[in-house]
Amino acid sequence: MDRLKMDYNHMMMEFVGKAGISTTDLDALAFQAERAVRAMEEKRQAGQMDWRDLPYQSEEILKDILQYVSEVKDQVEAFVVLGIGGSALGPIAVQQAINHPFYNELPREKRGGYPRFYVADNVDPERLSALFDVIDVTKCLFNCISKSGSTSETMSQFMIIKEMLEERLPKEEVKNHIVCTTDAEKGNLVKIAKEEGYRMFVVPAGVGGRFSELTPVGLLPAAMCGIDIRALLAGAAEMDRRSKEPNWRKNLAFLYGALHYLAMRQGKNISVMMPYADSLKYIADWYAQLWAESLGKRYDNEGHEVFVGQTPVKALGVTDQHSQVQLYTEGPFDKVVVLLGVEEYKTTLTIPKLYQDIPSLGFLGGVTQNQLIQTEQMATEYALLKSGRPNLTITLPRVNEFMLGQLLYFFEVATAFTGELLQINAFDQPGVEEGKNATYAMFGRPGYEEKKRELEMRPAKKDCYIL
Ligand code: PA5
């Protein structure tokens, strides 16, 4: 069976020197780590980590999704996700990992008969308008995804699209072009969906946005692109099985968290995620939200100010060897670099034996691009080692649904465990809420009058600092 592998040799002091972690550091963490292991288990038992049970969600939900996909997929040219943050990053990451890199440009039969796939996650007017240049809204299915059902960005897109549909289609047809994924009871979207008769899928109440990829938030878009959602869940279940290992030194997700926690204690407040596969490029985006929103916290569980977290940085191997690796090897000792590698790529490409008389090109002849990318990954690992920079390597035997399920679930468990070590709440996002509330107040939304007054009290900007 294919299994995710983690190699943390180069996190250790015996390899990277004083910037690394010693076995004594790990030994000294035992009390905290064992407490974190117990907390993980207790919270799961108490129903405070519902996302951990997603690999085993009911057959009824899966059948419902697959049935719906088989009913609608042939009727639309494109499937468009309206969502942001946890309601967009997972769907993008999974689709990009599994499907052809130029999926939308392929003829329909080469897409397995599935519609084209777009995600409108920002509110940049230029981008949304540009989307309308390449889709015919009357031939699309729009999946409005919002757990809270009130996120301004998503709801603004929804309103724009709903009006367009109403202008272009007979009233009774509009509802065939909208499917909502939201909470079963709370928020505006569920009310709208019920009143206006939209098909609806439910985000389980106890699962937060960034942990929601294995709910209909991610499963419906994935299935709509022909992705095997049962294999995705089977992969997550396999990682859940491995994550039940009670010895944290043998549990790869716990150890990932422990190593990052110890690195943070040494002031390494940057977490670089560097996949060596274009298919995994957007996993780095998804990870960035998971790691940043979950661990970037002002207060610990006791209410003390701690200001913790690691800033996630996205890099792509080998592309960013030519842009960021200079900094990683010679800049400040403030990072942990995670190299995300693949053993077997979906295809093999051999470089022809040209220019054999030019030694600096001839050596490439007959080599595959697969060997080149993997060798460059090893070379970066070596460059980091040589410059004493802690790094670890996660390897997937191949990129498929089963491995992706393992990878997503691995990072989720690792994040939650790191949160336990930091003794913070990894599942809230008060900083995000603050920005959302300030937006509402600036627009004069009823109920946000006090926030508006608070905003009006902010210091006025000085002209002398504006050039
Ligand atoms: O992780 C989170 O909770 C957030 O990033 C949300 O996913 C994001 O703000 C979108 O929220 P919603 O799904 O409620 O529209």
Active site residues: 293, 322, 436
75-132: per-residue pLDDT in tens? Answer: 999 999 999 999 999 999 999 999 999 999 999 999 999 999 999 999 999 999 999 9
- Atom number in ligand 1 closest to CA 151: 15
The answer to whether the beta carbons of residues 239 and 405 sit under 8 Å apart is: yes
Tell me which residue of 57, 35, 56, 38 sits closest to 46, measured CA to CA: 38
Q: How far is the CA of 151 from the centre of ligand 1 (A)?
A: 8
119-153: per-residue pLDDT in tens? Answer: 999 999 999 999 999 999 999 999 999 999 989 99
Average pLDDT over residues 269-284: 98
Which pLDDT value is given to residue 209? 94
The CA angle 57-63-66, to the nearest 5 degrees, is 115
Give the pLDDT band (50/70/90) at residue 398: very high
Tell me which residue of 201, 331, 345 sits closest to 272, measured CA to CA: 331
Q: How far is the CA of 62 from the centre of ligand 1 (A)?
A: 23
Which pLDDT value is given to residue 150? 87
**Pocket probe mutation, ligand 1, options 82, 84, 437, max atoms within 8 Å of Cβ:** 84
Give the pLDDT band (50/70/90) at residue 435: confident
Residues 6+ apart with CB under 8 A from 425: 297, 301, 419
**Pocket probe mutation, ligand 1, options 81, 145, 211, 429, max atoms within 8 Å of Cβ:** 429
Alpha-carbon gap, residue 193 to 84, rounded angstroms = 19
Q: How far is the CA of 182 from the centre of ligand 1 (A)?
A: 11
Q: How far is the CA of 92 from the centre of ligand 1 (A)?
A: 15
Residues 6+ apart with CB under 8 A from 110: 100
Give the pLDDT band (50/70/90) at residue 434: confident
Ligand 1 lining (C-beta closer than 6 Å): 84-87, 146-148, 151, 154, 208-210, 293, 429, 432
* Residue nearest to ligand 1 atom 12, measured at CA: 146
Tell me which residue of 78, 89, 427 sits closest to 288, measured CA to CA: 89
- Atom number in ligand 1 closest to CA 148: 14
Is the pTM higher than 0.85? The answer reads yes
Which pLDDT value is given to residue 133? 97
239-265: per-residue pLDDT in tens? Answer: 999 999 999 999 999 999 999 999 999
| Residue 342 scores a pLDDT above 90 | yes
Rounded to 10 deg, the angle between the 229-243 and 401-422 helix axes is 40
Q: How far is the CA of 217 from the centre of ligand 1 (A)?
A: 11
Give the pLDDT band (50/70/90) at residue 8: very high
Exposed e or buried b per residue across 129-168, where buried means at least 16 C-beta atoms within 10 angstroms of its C-beta: eebeeebebeebbbbbbbbbbebebbbebbebbbebbeee
The CA angle 338-342-346, to the nearest 5 degrees, is 145
Give the pLDDT band (50/70/90) at residue 433: confident
Which pLDDT value is given to residue 436? 85
Give the pLDDT band (50/70/90) at residue 432: confident
| Proportion of the chain above pLDDT 70, given as a percent | 100
The answer to whether the beta carbons of residues 134 and 92 sit under 8 Å apart is: no
